[in-house]
Amino acid sequence: MEIEGYHFPDDLYYDKEHCWCRVEGNVVVTGTTDFAQKMAGEIVYVQLPLIGKSVTQGKPCAALESGKWVGRIYAVVSGKVVEVNEELEDTPDSINGGPYEQGWIFKIEPSNLEEDLKNLMQGDDLVQFIKSEIIRVAAEKK
Amino acid sequence: MYLFDLGKLPGQQSMLIFHVLARMGVEALVIVSPKNPLVSIGYFQDAGREIDLSFCRENGISFMKREIGGGGTYLDENQVFYQLIWKRSNPRFPVEMSQIFEELSFPACETYRKFGIEASFRQENDIVTRKGKKIAGEGGGDIGDCMVLVGGILLDFDYETMSKVLKVPDEKFRDKVYKSMEENLTTMKRELGDIPPREEVVQTLVREYEKVIGRFESVALDNRIVERMKTLEKKFTSDRFLFKKTRKVPKGIKIKGGVEIRYGIHKAKGGLIKTVEELEQEKIKEIGISGDFQFYPKDDLSTMEVELRKTEFDQGKINNKIEQFYEEHRIQAPGVMPEDFTKAIVQSESEGPE
């Protein structure tokens, strides 16, 4: 779906840190949203988590830099990192080009998927949240 | 929100403080200068690639990595740092990166103006004078549950030491960095002829921040903060943290938004080609080419350097220019084709200094 110019695929789950996840069989693919990449601007560095690292839902586990700002990337679900998108180390701006496709960041083998998904947003909840974020950004610009 | 007006702190502590307060979730404005010189590199930088470690060690200059963005920089007591820390959930503060920098740089710009220097914010995150010279750089990042913006008012700046603390491929490059900084970076001393009293600058800065953020409550460092700084210092100065490798090799040294010095090297059949180029708005402003290759007529190498000025930093455009030059000047350079020069100039990012 499109929310005021920002793209959010319907089959993904989203958190309030502007990260997304997609369940693919036994693993969960994660990344950062179109809204987040637009707020950040051109991404120039990405630090990926180590494969095998245990991550906890809502906790930072990776980082990126855009415009002299270092932002954190949060684990959308808890589990173990099983794969990382190494291409981002050479071409971090792939996140800007396709945050849900070539810009995926890492994959997690989830440890508590069913419960974790309950804490994430889809549909109307997501629309409401993103709209409130857009209002905040617009208010700042005035 | 608290105000920590800390005067001068030992080099590393002056930068550790905002990391500690952010980890503790303390919203504050910190005003501080390093008592002794320090080199600070950005979170994604590798000290081994960015800093001339022997020069720093020989001259007693400490170095550390910070958890915010931007490049390597030399800090000393003639810089007044403002470090603003706020909780990510605080709705009073912007969320969009460009807004954060622009809105929260305003008090620093106003401070310069109060002292008679017309300064304004310019992407990418510099404060510049009316003549376009950089007078402050800023960086920021998410630390713990907080966001942090750090910038520095330049009372004065030691251009020479700054050019020496950076790791560069050769002295030619260092000289180019020094000259470009002299040309593109200014200070209060340069603009006003003298350094204004530090205390007046600090008071103005605090007043201007209060206009944007509201009244601060002045507080001093307590033991808890000092102890956490000591603990964190170990991490920030550890080899593991300082020398963490990033796959992206530095392309060069950024002097200010739109101005960069790059280094290129390429081994052609006819010899090694080295280039140092100053780029301005993605065009070659100046270029120096050297190496152990043969080039006839000899004087035409410097003519080619002049011809390359104002060329867009684009592989195709540079190659066309050099091919044309070879043809017009009947260049004889055994084992060195136009594309070899192009490779040296453009592919600098994959063959930068190690």
> In chain A, whose CA is at the least distance from the CA of B147?
A71
Nearest residue, CB atoms, A140 vs list B68, B94, B141:
B94
Check if B96 contacts A (Cβ < 8 Å): yes
Same domain, B179 and B63: yes
Domain annotation covers residue B252? no
B293 and B164 in one domain?
no
Residue A60 at interface with chain B, using a CB cutoff of 8 Å: yes
Both tokens of B300, joined, read: 């035409």
B96 vs B69, higher pLDDT: B69
The rounded mean pLDDT for chain A is 93
Q: Which residues of A touch B141 (CB under 8 A)?
A: 69-71
Asked if residue B264 and residue B201 are part of one domain, the reply reads no
The pLDDT, as a whole number, for residue B248 is: 65
A67 touches chain B (CB under 8 A): yes
Instruction: Say whether residue A136 is in contact with chain B using an 8 A CB cutoff.
Output: yes
SS3 assignment, position A44 = strand
Pick from B43, B103, B139: CB nearest A140: B103
Instruction: Please tell me whether residues B157 and B235 are part of one structural domain.
Output: yes
Q: Which chain B residue has the Cα nearest residue A92?
A: B248
Shared domain check, B268 and B230: no
Residue range B242-251, pLDDT digits in tens: 998 776 666 7
Residue with tokens 């990042």: B141
Q: Report the alpha-carbon distance of residue B220 to residue A62 in Å, rounded.
A: 33
With a pLDDT cut of 70, the percent of chain B lying above it is: 97
Judged by CB atoms within 8 Å, which residues 208-247 of B form the interface with A? Answer: 246-247
Residue B252: the pLDDT is: 82
Domain count, chain B: 2
| Residues B145 and B32 reside in one and the same domain | yes
Residues 39-58 of B with CB under 8 A from A: 42-44
pTM beyond 0.90, yes or no? no
pLDDT band at B56 (very low <50, low <70, confident <90, very high): very high
Which residues of chain A does B95 touch, with a Cβ-Cβ cutoff of 8 Å?
39, 133, 136-137, 140
Token duo for residue B341: 């020069």
Q: CA B72, B74, B79 angle in degrees (round to 5)?
A: 125
Residue B191 and residue B327 in one domain: no
Contact indicator for A96, A46 with CB cutoff of 8 Å: no
Mean pLDDT to the nearest integer, B258-284? 91
Residue whose C-alpha is closest to residue B16's, from B3, B204, B24: B24
Mean of pLDDT values over A45-55: 94
Contact B124 A68 (CB under 8 A): yes
Q: Which helix (H) or strand (E) holds B40?
A: strand B38-41
By C-alpha distance, the chain A residue nearest B43 is A70
Which of A17, A32, A33, A70 should be substituted to probe chain B, the one whose Cβ sees the most B Cβ atoms within 10 Å? A70
Q: How far apart are CA B17 and CA B221, in angstroms?
A: 9
For chain A, what are the domain ranges?
Answer: 2-134
Window 118-137 of B: residues touching A by CB (8 A cutoff) are: 123-125, 137
Per-residue pLDDT tens for B137-176? Answer: 899 999 999 999 999 999 999 999 999 999 888 888 899 9
Instruction: List pLDDT tens digits, range B171-217.
Output: 888 999 999 999 999 999 999 999 999 999 999 999 999 999 999 99
CATH of the domain at B281: 3.30.390.50
Contacts 24+ apart (CB under 8 A), B116-120: B116/B191, B116/B192, B117/B188, B117/B191, B117/B192
User: Residues of chain B with pLDDT > 90: what percent?
Assistant: 77
pLDDT higher than 60, residue B42: yes
B295-340, pLDDT tens digit by residue? 999 899 999 999 999 999 999 999 999 999 999 999 999 999 999 9
Range of the domain at B223: 2-242
A137 touches chain B (CB under 8 A): yes
Nearest CA in chain B to A65: B69
Rounded to whole angstroms, the Cα distance separating B224 from B20 reads: 10
Q: Cα(B33)–Cα(B81) distance, rounded to whole angstroms?
A: 6
How many C-beta atoms surround the C-beta of residue A24 within 10 A?
Answer: 9
| Statement to judge: residues B230 and B346 lie in one domain | no
B221 and B290 fall within a common domain: no
CATH code of A2-134, in short, is 2.40.50.100
Task: Say whether both B167 and B313 belong to one domain.
Answer: no
- Of the candidates B247, B345, B351, B44, the one whose C-alpha atom is nearest the C-alpha of residue A91 is B247
Q: B125: distance to nearest CA of chain A, Å?
A: 7
Region B270-293 average pLDDT: 91
Q: Please report, for the domain that includes residue B152, its CATH number.
A: 3.30.930.10
Cα distances (Å, whole numbers) of residue B281 to A36, B3, B256, B284: 27, 39, 11, 8
Residue in B67, B95, B125 nearest the CB of A39? B95
Residue labelled with tokens 């988590």: A49
- The whole-angstrom separation of Cα A116 and Cα A62 is 19
pLDDT at position B351: 43
B249 in any annotated domain: no
Residues B62 and B208 placed together within one structural domain of the fold = yes
Set of chain A residues whose Cβ sits within 8 Å of the Cβ of B142: 60, 70-72
